[in-house]
Structure 1
Amino acid sequence: MSKGHKVRGGRREVRFGTAEVIRDLDRPDGWLLSVDGVAQSYVDLDDPTHLEFDYVRRIGDVIDCLPAGPLTTVHIGGGACTLPRYVAATRPGSRQLVLDPDEELIDLVRERLDLRSVPALRVRISDGREGIATRGEDSADLVVLDAFVSAEMPGGLATVEFARDVNRVLRPAGTYVLNVTDGPKWQFARRVVASVAEVFDEVLLLADPGVLRGRRFGNMVVAASMSGLPVAELTRRAASAAFPARLVTGEKLREFHRGAKPITDAEGVTAPTPPDTAFT
Structure 2
Amino acid sequence: MAKGKGKGPKGKKITLKIAKNSIRISFDGGLRLDLSKMGITTFPKCILKLTDVDELDLSRNMLKKIPSSIEKFQKLRWLDLHSNQLEDLPKAVGTLQNLFYLNICNNKLTTKNLPEELNLLKNLRILNLGLNCLDSIPPTLGALKELKELGLFDNFLTTIPNSVKRLPKLEKMNAERNPFPESKKEEYVDPIKRIESLYLVQEKDLCSSCLQNCQGEKDKLNKFKDTEHCPSKKLSFPLLLTPNSTAMDNQEQWRLKEEHL
Question: What is the TM-score with the length of structure 2 in the denominator?
Answer: 0.30
Higher RCO (C-alpha 8 Å, min separation 6): 1
Task: Please state which structure has a larger fraction of its residues in strand.
Answer: 1
Question: What is the TM-score with the length of structure 1 in the denominator?
Answer: 0.29
